[in-house]
């Protein structure tokens, strides 16, 4: 019997100081959850909690049970440390202070 068709995917998780990127060959029909499990990223990054952290493919949030396609990049998102609007306000305020 022939081997099941394999697809190439990536799993990525970025910490503030380091990114974890794993390229995998997994069976066609595999889900996001399966790719994350096989990648080993959960062992290397114990702070990941898939009940809290969102996941996506190429910047679009997806469910853990979504089936992957050839070339998909699974991304595990972490919480933002600073609200983007507040960070922008802070940069504008700092720029005003520097001009004085």
Task: Please check whether residue 35 lies inside any domain of the structure.
Answer: yes
Tell me the residue range of the domain where 81 lies: 6-99
Q: Which residues of the chain have pLDDT under 70?
A: 1-3, 80-82
Long-range contacts: 37-43, Cβ < 8 Å, 24+?
Answer: 39/11, 39/74, 41/11, 41/13, 41/76
What is the number of structural domains in the chain?
1
User: Taking a C-beta distance cutoff of 8 angstroms, is the pair 33, 42 a contact?
Assistant: no
pLDDT digits (tens, 9 = 90+) for 76-99: 998 766 677 877 888 888 888 887
The pLDDT value given to residue 81: 66
Task: Please check whether residue 48 lies inside any domain of the structure.
Answer: yes
Would the pTM count as exceeding 0.85? no
CATH (domain of 86): 3.10.20.280
Task: Please check whether residue 46 lies inside any domain of the structure.
Answer: yes
Task: Please check whether residue 1 lies inside any domain of the structure.
Answer: no
Distance from C-alpha of 1 to C-alpha of 90, rounded to nearest angstrom? 62
The pLDDT value given to residue 90: 84
């Amino acid at each position: 019997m022939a081997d099941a068709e394999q697809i190439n995917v990536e799993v990525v998780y970025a910490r503030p100081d380091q990114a974890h990127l794993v390229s995998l060959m997994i069976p066609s029909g595999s889900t996001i959850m399966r790719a994350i499990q096989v990648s080993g990223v959960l062992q290397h990054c114990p702070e990941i909690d898939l009940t809290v952290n969102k996941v996506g493919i190429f910047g679009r949030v997806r469910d853990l049970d979504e089936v992957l396609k050839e070339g998909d990049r699974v991304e595990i998102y972490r919480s933002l440390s600073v609200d983007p609007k507040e960070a922008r306000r802070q940069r504008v305020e700092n720029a005003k202070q520097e001009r004085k």
